[in-house]
Amino acid sequence: QEMMVGSTATLVGISKEMAVWDTPFLFTDPRQADQVLDGPVGRQVMDKLEEKGLVGLVYWENGFRNVTNSARPIEKLEEFNGVKLRVMPNPVFIDTFKRMGANAVPLPFSELFTALETKAVDG
């Protein structure tokens, strides 16, 4: 038996239904997110993992996403323009940040620090 604790985004390649949780601005606050994830909709999405031989036990709190970078503060949408941001290699993340104006660079997390050092990404 094996266990893993991780982001739902990493499961999208196994169960495409998990991509729903990557939808930007899906929840207004943590309370609303908990209600949905711990309710029937969250269970329905998690149960799809069983078709792939996995058993989902619970959603783990990983918090809301933040953007950090070395180029400039981002306080308005237009400030994303031209910033090279590392994103998970996941179609929802790539498309979201491209639509906001960033140069979305899909990279595994394990490559992030080298990409920052070599300035391949700003954040």
* pLDDT tens digits, one per residue of 58-117: 998 777 778 899 999 999 999 999 999 999 888 888 999 999 999 999 999 999 999 999
Handedness of CA 36, 41, 47, 48 (dihedral sign): negative
Domain ranges of the chain: 1-65, 77-117
Tell me how far apart the alpha carbons of residues 13 and 32 are, in angstroms, rounded to a whole number. Answer: 26
pTM of the model: 0.72
- Measure the CA–CA gap between 27 and 24, rounded to whole angstroms: 8
**Residues 14/54, Cβ–Cβ less than 8 Å:** yes
